[in-house]
Amino acid sequence: MKAGGQAVIEGVMMRSGERMAIAVRSLDGGVSVHSEDVRPLAKRYPPLAWPIIRGAVSLVESLEMGVRALMFSANAQAGSADEELSRTEMVGTVVLAVGAAVVLFILLPTLLTSLAGAYIARGILLNVVEGIIRLTVITAYIGGISLIPDIARVLAYHGAEHKVINALESGSPVTVGGARPQSTAHVRCGTSFILMVAAVSVVIFAFFGWPSVWGRIGIRLLMLPIVAGIAYEMIMLASRSDSGLLRFVTAPGVWLQKLTTREPDDGQLEVAVAALKGCLDNKENGGPS
């Protein structure tokens, strides 16, 4: 059995099969858990389960569930009803975050690479340079925000999420004790996915040459679902295979997780365990086997 998830504010969201659960450390010190059934779009519309397409669909679904999980966790930390986030406020925040990501990781690298255009004539080399700049920006951004104390706590919950999932998938008890010795890294992590997207984009975008700035931006945005789909297939294949080549390809993403995870304490592991059990406890929650 496999599971996935993400860290949220003072908590963890987990998903396994057609069940999602969010566990958050509440203000009174307890653990609040919300569980619900989720029916993937691919189950309702089979063509969405086709290779490549399913990666883009999964990305959209993960974003939607992630927004709901963040909203639940933020409101659980609110001291009063007046401090709770509305859905409109949360959607607005996500739109701003996505816009900032487009500027930082798509627009900025291609503009900086344009400065090298006078020295590098070949479009393929320019795409490689752009890819290197994009990877550098991503790494610098992650390294920078990881120094913020509040972000560091979220990264510790990220580490807790991975430890608990690793315990489940290795056959260890899904408990604080079973999760404690596990690694904070996981091949299916979103960090690995982001890095894989950046690497795949270098190859895909090379086929389009080096058009104008707006042409490049348009191509990158239009091709993003395909790039994400290919990256998804590679990550999923690596998680199922013992191939040395695939391990080599995904190793940088695992290394980068040293920046996006922190060693959690037992309290954070307890929250991650509660989230996973919210997905797996069939008798209480009616989840899938």
Q: Which pLDDT belongs to residue 229?
A: 96
Q: Helix or strand or coil: residue 146?
A: coil
Residue 4: strand pairing partners = 15
Residues 134, 201: contact at Cβ < 8 Å?
A: yes
Q: Which pLDDT belongs to residue 83?
A: 61
Residues 16, 276: contact at Cβ < 8 Å?
A: yes
Residues 188, 246: contact at Cβ < 8 Å?
A: no
**Confidence band for 283, pLDDT divided at 50, 70 and 90:** very low
Is 90 exceeded by the pLDDT of residue 108? yes
Q: How many CA atoms lie within 13 A of 252 on its CB side?
A: 12
Dihedral, CA atoms, 207, 211, 215, 220, nearest 10 degrees?
A: 30
Average pLDDT over residues 76-103: 78
What whole-number distance in Å separates Cα of residue 48 and Cα of residue 270? Answer: 35
Render pLDDT for 179-233 as a digit per residue (tens, 0 to 9): 999 999 999 999 999 999 999 999 999 889 888 888 999 999 999 999 999 999 9
Q: Which of 86, 94, 71 is nearest to 22 (CA)?
A: 71
Average pLDDT over residues 74-78: 83
21 φ/ψ angles, rounded to the nearest 5 degrees:
-140, 145
Is 60 exceeded by the pLDDT of residue 80? no
Q: CA distances (Å), 3 to each of 119, 165, 198, 278, in order? A: 48, 6, 24, 12
Residue 85 DSSP one-character state: P
Q: Is 105 exposed, middle or buried (0-12, 13-18, 19+ CB in 10 A)?
A: buried
Domain residue limits, the chain:
4-285
Q: Which pLDDT belongs to residue 79?
A: 62
For the entire predicted model, the pTM comes to: 0.89
Q: Identity (one letter) of the amino acid at 117?
A: G
Residue 262 or residue 242, greater confidence:
262
What whole-number distance in Å separates Cα of residue 137 and Cα of residue 111? Answer: 13
The structure tokens listed for 131 are: 């890819």
What whole-number distance in Å separates Cα of residue 90 and Cα of residue 88? Answer: 5
Residues 137, 108: contact at Cβ < 8 Å?
A: yes
Q: How many CA atoms lie within 13 A of 124 on its CB side?
A: 2
What whole-number distance in Å separates Cα of residue 128 and Cα of residue 126? Answer: 5
Orientation angle between helical segments 190-206 and 213-240, nearest 10 degrees? 130
Is 80 exceeded by the pLDDT of residue 159? yes
Q: Which pLDDT belongs to residue 215?
A: 93
Sign of CA dihedral 143, 144, 148, 154: negative
What whole-number distance in Å separates Cα of residue 136 and Cα of residue 128? Answer: 12
Cβ atoms within 10 Å of 217's Cβ, excluding its own: 16
The structure tokens listed for 44 are: 């309702």
Q: How many CA atoms lie within 13 A of 149 on its CB side?
A: 0
**Confidence band for 133, pLDDT divided at 50, 70 and 90:** very high
Q: Which pLDDT belongs to residue 191?
A: 92
DSSP labels, 176-216 = HHHHTTS-S--TT-HHHHHHHHHHHHHHHHHTT----HHHH
**Confidence band for 92, pLDDT divided at 50, 70 and 90:** confident
